[in-house]
Structure 1
Amino acid sequence: MSAIVAQSHHIFGIRAGVTNNVFYFDEQTIIFPSGNNCLRYNIDQKWQKFIQGSEKSHGMLALAISPNRRYLAVSERGEKGSITVYDLQQEQSKKRKVLTGGELPVQEFLCMAFSPDSKYLIAQAGAPDWTLFYWVWEKQKVMATMKTSSQSNPISQVSFNPQDNTQICVTGNGVFKLFRYAEGSLKQSSFQKLEGQNILCHAWVSEERVIAGTETAKLLVFESGDLRWEMSVEPKPASQEAER
């Protein structure tokens, strides 16, 4: 008697707590985590395709899609933290590479990003070491590593300058740092002391300018690594609006 194997046809709901957990693959298809899978969901035709998580995964932590929309990176927690890169142009989203911390004891990668040309991948490992990894991911080659923070200042996001594969922005609780890759190492080119400013997200708006959002509803604008201005975007209380 042959064994009966259950297969997924539909999964409903999105997994919370995953960094960068929903984005467009194309104009009709979105990708998001649900359970221990990533779903490719066509919003017009209502079909789903599954990208299954690793068998021994303890849960997904972060996603990243390459600028050319061909590759998907999935970070998972396990006995050792790992990142799996999938080729989205293949019918079944073929697994291309698996990246780990190698000899470094990395339990999780909290956030990651592809370079503008999709050839490189950066990923931020968690506590206690907070090590940033810079890979040529197709060769599974670590180009450089760098400790970016301390246990009391967690990192929330890393990104590449959209015009430069060698420049990286790292933000977090009291942290805004720029790094540049040169001669086989990452060198810090800018550091701002931001006590009491918990940066939750950032975006490059030009080759030199980054805008960041904080936990207290402030927007911070950095140019060439220096803080130029800040603005509060917290909505006014209803009583104040009524008086106007």
Structure 2
Amino acid sequence: QFLAVCRGGESAAVSVWDMTTRKRQRFLNCPEMASDHYVAAAFSPDERMLAAQGGPPDWTLVLFLLEKGKVFSVLRLSDTPGLGPVASILYHPEDNGVLSVVGEKVLKLLKLNDKLLKTWGYQGGHNHNAHSQVWADQHTLLVGTDVGSILLLEEGELRTEIKVSHPHIGP
């Protein structure tokens, strides 16, 4: 029922709109973030939190409490070796404390512990350029890469890489 609209400029911000009333509910920003824009946003399954991924130079991931309109947690991804642009962030479908972040040379699984986001599970994300992700069920995350493969992670661990071959098109 909500829509997040990210805007850039002198100070990056996210507007949260209630689609049933068509009114803006919140205007969120994080002064700690160095970037002038957000590249992705995702609502928690219970719609109480919003994760917003800032862009360069610091690639700050911000968790906002929607009810209060305040920053709940901040994690700078800029210390990730070889980090490129982040393509997508996604909450676990049933656990508000679990997120995944994918992009160029990044595949991070994050778990909220008190107010801190900590990495867990598979740590080989620097080997992949990931462009998309989807939770197939409560245990399985599928991640699409730029070489046409699908990474299958179960319980946070890489189980297999499915190579998708493309048939030759044309004469």
Contact 2:33 2:60 in 1 (8 A): no
| Cα displacement (A) at 1:197 | 2.0
Segments of structure 2 that go 5 or more residues without pairing to the other structure are none
- Find the partner of 1:101 among 5, 30, 51: 30
Secondary structure of the 1:164 match is coil
Q: Match for 1:94: what amino acid?
A: K
Alignment of structure 1 residues 100-179 onto 2, 5 Å: 100-149=29-78, 150=80, 152-179=83-110
Distance in 1, Cα, partners of 2:62 & 2:121: 18
Alpha-carbon offset, residue 76 of structure 1: 1.1
Counterpart in the other structure of 1:74: 5
Question: What residue number does 1:201 align with?
Answer: 132
Distance in structure 2 (CA, Å) of the matches to 1:146 and 1:218: 28
Q: Distance in 1 between matches of 2:169 and 2:34?
A: 50
Q: Which amino acid aligns with 1:116?
A: P
The amino acid across from 2:133 in the alignment is H
Larger radius of gyration: 1
Matched, 1:224 2:148: no
> For 1:80-105, what per-residue CA distance to the aligned partner results, in whole angstroms no more than 9, with x for missing partners?
11100111111xx1111111122433
1-side partners of 2:126 and 2:112: how far apart? 27
Identity %: 31
- Structure 2 Cα separation of the partners of residues 152 and 83 of structure 1: 23
Q: Is the 8 A contact 1:175 1:192 kept in 2?
A: no
Higher relative contact order (CA 8 A, sep 6+): 2
Which runs of 5 or more structure 1 residues have no equivalent in the other structure? 1-69
Q: How many residues align?
A: 169
Q: Shift of the alpha carbon at 1:174?
A: 2.1
Contact 2:50 2:66 in 1 (8 A): yes
TM-score by length of 2: 0.90
Shift of 1:173: 1.4
TM (norm. structure 1) is: 0.65
Q: Kindly report the root-mean-square deviation, in angstroms, between the aligned alpha carbons of the 2 structures.
A: 1.8
Matching residue within 118, 127, 140 for 1:187:
118
Counterpart residue number, 1:57 = none
Shift of 1:196: 4.6
For 1:211, which of 118, 128, 142 is the aligned residue? 142
Q: How far apart are 1:202 and its partner, in Å?
A: 0.3
Instruction: Return the alpha-carbon distance in structure 1 between the equivalents of residues 92 and 125 of structure 2.
Output: 21
Q: Is the 8 A contact 1:83 1:100 kept in 2?
A: yes
- Cα drift, residue 235 of structure 1: 1.1
